[in-house]
Structure 1
Amino acid sequence: MHAPALALGALFSATAAIAHLACIAIGAPAYRVMGAGERMARAAQAGRLQPALVTLAVAAMLSAWAGYAVSGAGVVGPWPFTRPALVLITVLYLARGLAFALLKPLFPGNSATFWWISSGLCLLIGLVHLYGLLAAP
């Protein structure tokens, strides 16, 4: 597989995971800055468990995706089903980046800034992964 692109994709996914964990640690102000919506921020501020659990699940998924990209880059040994997993991860990143207009009505509390920035980043990460997969021998 093409090591530099997939290593970069891993770095992007890991950074996104850390940003999500920071939201849990910082609380409501971080949810607001990240554009998660006032409902999520208020729930975190009230000490409800749901925002942390949802955010932790997203961080765990992003961490696993980073692990698969590192494996695909050859930085660590092979993980099970590395190539099919990377194809699926790439498709999901690209779909999330391109389909935000369809997803936006499902999460009305999220800010427009959230949708544009997160969708742009997902598209970028998906394209980096796609390049890494297509450049692979």
Structure 2
Amino acid sequence: MPPSLNPALLLAAALSFIAALLHLGCILGGPAWYRFFGAGERMAQAAARGSWVPAGVTAGITLVLLAWAAYALSAAGAVPRLPLLKAAIVAITVVYLLRGLVLVPALVFKPTHVTPFVVWSSLICLGYGLVHLLGVVQVWGRL
């Protein structure tokens, strides 16, 4: 009988999938979406000019997030085992945690550069990382 599905990693997959959808929304929503989600005025203006760069960068991030969702599903036991599963899910977890924790040195060393985007995106990434970490710890023995 297959092991039961890991709820934390199922949630982790859903969170990465939602993030991917939001990035896709930025491509479809254009400059207003880039501004709203904090991508910066240069990205918004480039999108307004019709440059391929914002859509290309955002599409790349979307694909990475979809791959991360797939790896979380695989680690959760919901889909077949993906290549390098243990290393990949650990790396994904570390990236989310480090991205979330970037807020700490930013607040200490460059507090004037800390924008609302830096705060909320860091807290979201930290939350994603903690959900991944919980799931990884729970399934470590079968990875």
TM-score, normalised relative to structure 1:
0.90
Query: Is the CA contact 2:106–2:114 (under 8 Å) kept in the aligned structure 1?
Result: no
* Aligned-partner SS, 1:57: helix
- 2:83 maps to 1:80: yes
- Report the Cα distance in structure 1 between the residues aligned to 2:27 and 2:53, rounded to whole angstroms: 11
- Identity within the alignment, %: 46
Q: In structure 2, which of residues 6, 10, 22 is the aligned counterpart of residue 7 of structure 1?
A: 10
* Aligned-partner SS, 1:17: helix
- Report the Cα distance in structure 1 between the residues aligned to 2:11 and 2:60, rounded to whole angstroms: 22
Matches within 5 A, 1:44-63: 44-63=47-66
AA aligned opposite 1:56: A
Deviation, structure 1 residue 116: 1.1
**Quick check: which has more Rg, 1 or 2?**
2
Q: Which has the higher contact order (CA 8 A, sep 6+)?
A: 1
Length, aligned pairs only: 132
* Aligned-partner SS, 1:135: helix
4+ runs deviating over 6 angstroms: none
Structure 1 residues 47, 111: closer, same or farther in 2, change over 3 A? farther
Superimposed CA distance per residue, residues 12-33 of structure 1 (whole angstroms, 9 cap, x where no aligned partner): 0000000000000010000010
What are structure 1's unaligned runs of at least 5 residues? 105-109
**CA RMSD across the alignment:** 2.0
Deviation, structure 1 residue 100: 3.8
- 2:127 maps to 1:124: yes
AA aligned opposite 1:42: Q
Return 19-28 or 1-10, whichever deviates more. 1-10
Structure 1 residues 60, 128: closer, same or farther in 2, change over 3 A? same
Query: Is the CA contact 1:27–1:45 (under 8 Å) kept in the aligned structure 2?
Result: yes
Match of 2:27 in 1: 24
What are structure 2's unaligned runs of at least 5 residues? 108-112
Query: Is the CA contact 1:37–1:111 (under 8 Å) kept in the aligned structure 2?
Result: no
Match of 2:102 in 1: 99
